[in-house]
Structure 1
Amino acid sequence: MEDLNNQRNYSNGLKRRELKGRSRSLEDLDRLWKEPLEKRGLRECRLLENLNKMVQEANEQMLPSNLEEMSQKLSDISKRLEAANHMAERVQQRELEAQQNTGLQANMEKLKEDWAEFVKEQQRLKEEVDEEHAKAVGELSSRFSEKKKDLVQFSL
């Protein structure tokens, strides 16, 4: 077990010595690479912080006056919307009345047509009744005249 640990330590030491020359150059490259990145990151952070402060200050300055203007504009818009809604309701009411009038006119036209058909039918039925009446009167007249003749014969 001890021998195994000694071998490991020895091989690790050799590896460290071999990589030692390389690790400095890698460390130098890392440092050369990381330093500008860190500086750029710090500059970006400062820039973002400054922008954030500017936005906050602008909001603090603009909001109070804008709130009053916004409330005024909102009330104006609300009034305009109410007026527009009122106008839309009136237009809808007129359209409904026009549709009802159109419906009434259509109903009146249908009733007129139905009435004309009814009058024609009544005229036809009247003519039939008049014909039947004329036939019945003719038959009755002829019977009456026959009865009259018969009566005259019996009375003689």
Structure 2
Amino acid sequence: MSGSPLHGIKKWDPLTSPGTSTHMIIKDLGEIHSRLLDHRPVIQGETRYFVKEFEEKRGFREMRVLENVKRLTSEANDKTLPRCKEAMQGGLDQALQTLKVANRTLGRLQQRQHQPPTNDPQASEDRLRARCDELVKEQEQWQVAVDEEHKKAMERLREQYARMEKELAKSASF
């Protein structure tokens, strides 16, 4: 090495040259990295904004709305549906009873039609009058029964709609 013409001349090194420091270069690289590649501060800011928007500004409005919907749904399942089912079942029971009565009456009418006719006109006329009187009495009884059933049904419907209006007014106030 003593014979080398560059003997005694130092090589230039940018890290050790005067005026620059390794520490400054590393610091600059860290800054560049954080500005270009590190997105955590932006994401944290967006997260904070999201939380502030939905929790603080809206005041859990959506949660209250969902709780009201849940309460109304469970109330409908627990109270309204069973009442509707009972009303429907009551109406079906009354209709079934009316149909049974009508079926019995039609059966009696069919039996009377199939009876052999008599040759005595007076007996036939008396029998026809008796049947006519019987039918008029049955019709009057049916009319009274139907009128009573109608009154009861109308009263039940009035009560049911009044309750439903109260419940609707109560739920609309929320």
With the length of structure 1 as denominator, give the TM-score of the two structures. Answer: 0.37
- Tell me which of the two structures has the higher relative contact order, counting C-alpha pairs closer than 8 angstroms and 6 or more residues apart: 2
Higher helix proportion (structure 1 or 2):
1
Structure with max Cα Rg: 1
With the length of structure 2 as denominator, give the TM-score of the two structures. Answer: 0.34
